[in-house]
Amino acid sequence: MVEHGQFIDGSWRTGGARASVEVIDPATETVVATVPAATAADLDEALQAADRSFPAWAARPATERAKILHDAASALRARRNDIAAILSREQGKPLAEAAGEVANAADIMDWFAEEARRAYGRIIPARAAGVSQQALREPVGPVAAFSPWNFPVSQAVRKMGAALAAGCTIIIKGPEEAPGAVCEVVRTLAEAGVPAGALNLVFGDPPAISAHLIPAPQIRKVSFTGSVAVGKQLAALAGQHMKRTTMELGGHAPVIVFDDVEPGKVATQLAAYKYRNGGQICISPTRFYVHEKAYDAFLEAFVAKAKSIRVGAGSEDIDMGPLATRRRVDAIDGLVSAAVQDGATLHAGGRRLNNVGYFYAPTVLGDVPAQSPIMNEEPFGPVALINRFEDEEDVIARANSTPYGLAGYAFTDSSRRAALVSARVRVGMMSINHLGLGPIETPFGGVGDSGHGREGGSEGLDAYLETKFVSHLAA
């Protein structure tokens, strides 16, 4: 049994009077590790450490911060397979996906290392002689971050990499469901030279930790990835204390498939993408709107691909692992059953698999009534909802019919239709004719209930920087 630790002020903390949280292998439902729950004293120590270490870390030349992040990225690449094995065992994803996630995390660190060197300010022409006007970019200060269980490594690195690159210190609450790989990333960063106190990792009772950290005067910025409901609570709390926020919340991505593309080819491509990570991805394509003329061919190919997906433990030669938690299986099963009762047609899956483990079959529902809960509530699992449309205006209205606004996809040969959907579908990210969302050099985030702020691109670094204006009359 592995005992993971918390990392506070440069040292690992385990055991003692702390409560212990069990980590379950979702393929076997056995306890494979434990992680200590942070006490109020742990959190206070992390706050003091993040606060104390901030001025020196912020003052380090950006090139030095960048070197540490580059070194950590190289070390992550070297340790990729070991970390992937931990990630796969605790979260359930196939080993190949886990190794891809660790490699992606290394790329994210490299990207923010480079961006740190380009946190340019600007000179603004003054109205009077002898005056210089500068807009300076400064790190916002100690950050409280909350990262999710679906991509335990890469989502944590989006926050840690950006904050550290910008010169912020950070306390990150990692996912209790799959903590081991995050611990290894933090170890790698510390070994690469991130000083004691600048990076702190805690686990425990999420509401207790957010209620302690967000109002604390040391914290200047809050970053959360998770559900809309929790995001709204944390944003409200941050607002009471006037803390800046980045909220990367859920989505319910529409996919519009026009009748001017090859439906079978597009369906096969989309189905392979849909079931990655068991569909537990905020930008996963979910509500498919397929033109009436292309519907049957699209559905047939999609169902064939869904039925060919091999489900099993992440360590085996499979395409899709178990879901990460029992609560996801229960939630999805409830939503799928309700949809069938509401009149949807079940074309594939729709049931739990195996007696042990959180396995759920790749599922395809067709002609799902618009008012069924699954059309409005993010399933966050291996479920595709495939509906028909005839009219362009109607499909855009239906794509925009939920409060979410994270990702959208469209497939068409027509540049007019491509322009129409890019302009009118209300999302933070739109991908047309391919699955092109997520590279770290591009802005990642949503509108509406899907949150605000961006976690990639140059915007990803901006989220951790303040602008200070300095007007100087030469003496």
Residue 398 in tokens: 């239906």
Q: 255 pairs with which residues across the strands? A: 288, 409
Residue type, 18: R
- Lay out the site mask for ligand NAD across 287-326 (x = CB under 6 A, - = otherwise): ----------------------------------------
Residue 175 found at the interface with ligand NAD (CB under 6 A) = yes
Beta carbon of residue 427, minimum distance to ligand NAD (angstroms, whole number): 14
The residue from 176, 248, 378, 455 that is catalytic is 248
The answer to whether 149 contacts ligand NAD (rule: CB under 6 A) is yes
In the residue annotation, 183 being an active-site residue is answered as: no
Residue 150 lies near ligand NAD (rule: CB under 6 A):
yes
Q: Which stretch binds ligand NAD (CB under 6 A): 8-16, 222-230, 340-348, 437-445?
A: 222-230
Binding segment (CB under 6 A) for ligand NAD, from list 89-97, 228-236, 358-366, 459-467: 228-236
Least Cβ distance, residue 163 to ligand NAD (angstroms): 17
Q: Which is nearer to ligand NAD, 162 or 282 (CB)?
A: 282
Query: Which residue matches tokens 């040969």?
Result: 413
| Beta carbon nearer to ligand NAD, 225 or 387 | 225
Q: Is residue 67 packed enough to be buried (19+ CB in 10 Å), middle (13-18) or exposed (0-12)?
A: middle
Amino acid at 98: A
d(CA 403, CA 380): 16
**What track of x and - describes contact with ligand NAD for positions 360 through 379 (by CB under 6 A)?**
------------------x-
Residue nearest to ligand NAD (CB): 250
Maximum distance among all Cα pairs of the chain, rounded to whole angstroms: 79
- C-alpha–C-alpha distance, residues 156 and 133, integer Å: 37
Binding mask 59-88 for ligand NAD (x = CB under 6 A): ------------------------------
Q: Which stretch binds ligand NAD (CB under 6 A): 21-29, 137-145, 205-213, 388-396?
A: 205-213
Q: Please state the closest distance from residue 323 (CB atom) to ligand NAD, in A.
A: 10
Asked if 206 interacts with ligand NAD (CB under 6 A), we say yes
Q: From the CB of 171, what's the least distance to ligand NAD, in Å? A: 12
x/- mask, ligand NAD, residues 236-265, rule CB under 6 A, reads: ------------xxx---------------
Q: Is residue 146 at the binding interface for ligand NAD, with CB under 6 A as the rule?
A: yes
Out of 275, 380, 409, 464, name the contact with ligand NAD by CB under 6 A.
380
CA distances to 247, 299, 318, 368 from 345, rounded to whole Å, are 35, 12, 27, 7
Binding-residue total with ligand NAD (CB under 6 A): 22
- Give the range of 2-10, 27-35, 145-153, 157-165 binding ligand NAD by CB under 6 A: 145-153
Binds ligand NAD by CB under 6 A, chosen from 148, 152, 167, 350: 148
Q: Which stretch binds ligand NAD (CB under 6 A): 25-33, 103-111, 221-229, 428-436?
A: 221-229
The string over 383-413, giving b where at least 16 C-beta atoms fall within 10 Å of a residue's C-beta and e elsewhere, is: bbbbbbbeebeebbebbbebebbbbbbbbbe
**19, exposed or middle or buried, with CB in 10 Å at 0-12, 13-18, 19+?**
exposed
Catalytic site includes residue 248: yes
Give the residue numbers marked as catalytic: 248, 282
Residues that bind ligand NAD (CB under 6 A): 146, 148-150, 175, 206-207, 210, 225-227, 229-230, 233-234, 248-250, 282, 327, 378, 380
